[in-house]
Amino acid sequence: MKNPNRANPPQPVDFDLRRQRAATIAPIAIAFPVAIVLWASTYFLLPPLAGMEGK
């Protein structure tokens, strides 16, 4: 007989916190330096927009 209540399974659900944390932290650790490099290159390497220079 199947368990009709899926919210309360008879066997505990396998949940690995370390694996979940690594899966969350890895993309953040990669995206952070990439975002900093993109911001810095945009800020320092692109010329000012027309009309933005001081008089």
* pLDDT by residue, tens only, the chain of 55 residues: 565 666 766 666 677 888 888 899 999 999 999 999 999 999 999 988 888 776 5
At residue 10, the pLDDT reads 66
Query: Which residues, 6+ apart, have CB-to-CB distance to 4 below 8 Å?
Result: none
At residue 20, the pLDDT reads 86
Is 11 within 8 Å of 3 (Cβ atoms)? Answer: no
At residue 49, the pLDDT reads 82
Query: Which residues, 6+ apart, have CB-to-CB distance to 9 below 8 Å?
Result: 3
At residue 48, the pLDDT reads 82
Distance CA 10, CA 1 (A): 12
Distance CA 43, CA 35 (A): 12
pTM of the model: 0.56
Is 33 within 8 Å of 27 (Cβ atoms)? Answer: no
